Amino acid sequence: MPAGGTATRSSYAPAPGHRFAIGDKVRVKRSFPPGHRRTPYYIRGKQGVIERICGAFPNPEELAYGFDGEPAKVLYRVRFAQKHVWPGYDGPDHDIIEMEIYEHWLEPDDTGVSHGDAR
Amino acid sequence: MSSFDYYAKRPHDHEHDHEHDDHAPQTEAEGPPSEFEIMSRAMQELLEAKGVVTAQEIRRRIELFEEDFPYRGGRVIAHAWTDPDYKRRLLADGRAACAEFGIELEAERLIAVENTPEVHNVIVCTLCSCYPRALLGMPPTWYKSRNYRSRVVFEPRAVLREFGTVLPDNVTVRVHDSNADMRYVVIPMRPQGTEGWSEERLAGLLTRDTLVGVTLPQATEKK
C-alpha cells in the first residue's frame, strides 16, 4: 500500500547538478546490462531532445533489489521523432514519442542530426 | 483467454518500487491459487497478525479503488475545462493541482498533457502497466495487454483507429511511455455544444478512455 502521505505535493523534485537542460540534444546509451532497468530496449541508442526535467529520484535499478536507491538520479523526459525511433514508422514526420530516461542513460548528442524537434 | 492476457495476469513479473497496489483485486480464474496469490494472502495475514493493518482497512482500500478513484480524473479535468487558470496550474504541476482540488494522489506524481487541434496525446506503459491509479482507478485489461503496450508506441494511429479514433495527418500524435516515476493524464479538448454545462455534467463525458487518450469525449451523453 502506498506510503509517504502528503509530505510531497509537487510532481517534480529538485534536480541539483543536473547535466542536461531543456532542449539539449541527447542520445540514449546503447547498452544492455543485466538487471532491472527502466530504459526500454527500443529506445536504446536513439537520439532525442530533453523535454523537461522531472527531478532527482531514487534509482530504480537499486530499489528493485532492496537497496535504498541512493544517490538519487536525475530523471528527464526525452522527446523522440517516431520516424527516427522506428525507421518503418507509418505516419507523418511530425509524430513524436516521449518517455522518462535517467541521466546515467544519457549522453550528449553532438552529431548535429536533428531529432525530435517536432512540436 | 487470449495469449496477451497471460502477461496482463502476471502483476508480479516486474520488481520495482512503483507505488501502485499490485494486490488490488484481479479477475481471478477459478482453480487453485497461484504462487503470487498465496504469497499475497500470507503477507496480508502476517500484517494483520502483527497489527499493522486490519482486514477492514484492506477492504476499504479496495472499495476506494473501485468506487472513488475511477471518478476523480473526470472531476479534475472538468474543472480544468471550466477554469483556465486551474488548467494552467494542472499543466504546470499535476500533483499539486490535484491536491489543491482536494484530491491527494498519495505517492503518485502526475503530468497532465493537453490535446489541442494540433496535438493528440496517448498514454502507455511499455514496461509494465504504470497508470495513475489514484486518479483513474485500476487500469483496464487492454491497457495492461501486451498487444496495446507493444503496438501503440510504433503504430499509434492504427491502434487509435481500432478504438474508433481517427486523426488527420496534420495532427501530431504524441505518445507518452509512462516508463518510470511519473504518471500521466490527458486533458481532452472540450467538445462543442457543451457551453454552459456544469462541471458534474462535463465530468460525465470524461470517461477513462478519454483520459488515457484512446478516445475523444463526445457531447452526447450515454443513458
As a three-state string, the secondary structure of chain B is: CCCCHHHHCCCCCCCCCCCCCCCCCCCCCCCCCCHHHHHHHHHHHHHHHCCCCCHHHHHHHHHHHHHCHHHHHHHHHHHHHHCHHHHHHHHHCHHHHHHHCCCCCCCCEEEEEECCCCEEEEEECCCCCCCCHHHHCCCCHHHHCHHHHHHCCCCHHHHHHHCCCCCCCCCEEEEEECCCCEEEEEECCCCCCCCCCCHHHHHCCCCHHHHHCCCCCCCCCCC
A57 and B106 within 8 Å at the Cβ level: the answer is no
Query: CB-based burial of residue B205 (10 Å sphere; 0-12 exposed, 13-18 middle, 19+ buried)?
Result: buried
Q: Under CATH, what is the fold of the domain A25-108?
A: SH3 type barrels. (2.30.30)
Structure confidence at residue B16 as a pLDDT band (50, 70, 90): very low
The pLDDT value given to residue B173: 98
Min Cα distance A63 → chain B (Å) is 6
| Alpha carbon of residue B135 to chain centroid | 7
Q: Do A40 and B21 touch (CB under 8 A)?
A: no
Say whether pLDDT at B202 is over 80: yes
> Which pLDDT does position B29 carry in this prediction?
64
Strands B172-177 and A106-108: unpaired
**Number of Cβ within a 10 Å radius of residue B35:** 8
Residues with Cβ within 8 Å of A88's Cβ and at least 6 positions away in sequence, in order, are none
pLDDT digit string, tens, across residues B57-69: 999 999 999 999 9
Q: What is the mean pLDDT of residues B121-138?
A: 94
The confidence band for A78, taking pLDDT boundaries of 50, 70 and 90, is: very high
pLDDT digits over A35-75, tens only? 999 999 999 999 999 999 999 999 999 999 999 999 999 99
- Inter-chain CB proximity A90 and B158 less than 8 Å: yes
The ipTM assigned to this model is 0.91
Question: Considering only CB atoms, which chain A residues are within 8 Å of B61?
Answer: 1
| Mean local confidence (pLDDT), A76-87 | 97
Between A7 and A91, name the one with better pLDDT: A91
Interface of B with A in 95-134 (CB under 8 A): 95-96, 99, 104, 106-111, 118-119, 126-127, 134
Higher pLDDT, B198 or B23: B198
Q: Phi-psi region for residue A35, left (φ > 0), alpha (ψ -120 to 50) or beta?
A: left
Average pLDDT, chain A: 90
Render pLDDT for B151-175 as a digit per residue (tens, 0 to 9): 999 999 999 999 999 999 999 999 9
Domains assigned to chain B: 1-223 (3.90.330.10)
B92 vs B8 pLDDT, higher one: B92
Mutation choice for B interface testing from A95, A96, A103 by most B CBs within 10 A: A95
Segment B8-12 shows an average pLDDT of: 42
Which pLDDT belongs to residue B71? 93
Q: List CB contacts (< 8 A) between A58 and chain B.
A: 17
pLDDT per position as a tens digit, B171-195 = 999 999 999 999 999 999 999 999 9
How confident is the model at residue B30, as a pLDDT? Answer: 76
Q: What are the chain A neighbours of B20 within 8 Å (beta carbons)? A: 2
Higher pLDDT, A20 or B12: A20
Pairs across A and B, CB distance < 8 A: 128
Q: Which of B106, B107, B154 sits opposite A89 (nearest CB)?
A: B154
Q: Report the residue of chain A nearest B110, measured CA to CA.
A: A11
The more confidently predicted of residues A50 and B13 is: A50
Instruction: Please tell me the predicted confidence (pLDDT) of residue B148.
Output: 97
Mean pLDDT for B71-100 is: 97
Q: Is B98 a catalytic residue?
A: no
- A43 in helix, strand or coil? helix
Instruction: Tell me the residues of A at the B interface, defined by beta carbons under 8 Å apart.
Output: 1-6, 8-12, 36, 38-40, 42-43, 54, 57-58, 60, 63-65, 69, 75, 77, 82, 85-86, 89-92, 94-102, 118-119
pLDDT number for residue B222: 53
The angle subtended at Cα B17 by Cα B15 and Cα B23, nearest 5°, is: 75
How does residue A7 score in pLDDT terms, banded at 50, 70 and 90?
A: low
What's the mean pLDDT when you consider all of chain B? Answer: 88
**Averaged pLDDT for residues A95-104:** 98
| Domain extents in chain A | 25-108
pLDDT confidence bin for B223, thresholds 50/70/90: very low
Residue-level pLDDT at A75: 98
